Homo-oligomer: A and B are copies of this chain.
């Protein structure tokens, strides 16, 4: 259900794990490394996690999502280490009986992940690097 790994994420396996006879909808969010940020060319990203705490915070987010929506299955996989353009840092999948809840829950999870889960991203440019969100 929760995985933090330095290996490429297996989106199909995550989706397969959502199968449920009561399920009518699976919503999947796949984050990908964009080649540009604020008009500047990105070379690669580096992700770092405080793993036990990240797992704990992700567990809280998933439990809260289950309280808010009728979720059958949910998975969050986050990659750490060096990622090139178009690689996938995060995959979130939510299986629900009906689709509206799936969209809402999946968006809630990624929005909250970005606010509370101790994972950090460094953008590497031609001429320097920046820890995202660190400075005003």
A24 at the interface (CB under 8 A from B): yes
B residues near A107, Cβ cutoff 8 Å: 99-100, 103
A54 at the interface (CB under 8 A from B): no
A15 at the interface (CB under 8 A from B): yes
Task: Decide: A32 and B27 in contact? CB cutoff 8 A.
Answer: no
A20 at the interface (CB under 8 A from B): yes
Copies of this protein in the complex: 2
| Chain B CB within 10 A, most for which of A15, A28, A102 | A28
A31 at the interface (CB under 8 A from B): yes
Can you report 17 residue pairs joining A to B where beta carbons are below 8 Å apart? A11-B12, A11-B15, A15-B28, A20-B32, A20-B86, A21-B35, A23-B34, A24-B34, A25-B30, A26-B29, A26-B32, A27-B28, A27-B30, A28-B28, A31-B99, A99-B110, A103-B106
With A27-B28, A103-B107 given, name 13 new contacts (CB 8 A): A12-B12, A15-B28, A19-B32, A22-B35, A23-B32, A23-B34, A23-B86, A24-B33, A24-B34, A25-B32, A26-B32, A27-B30, A28-B30
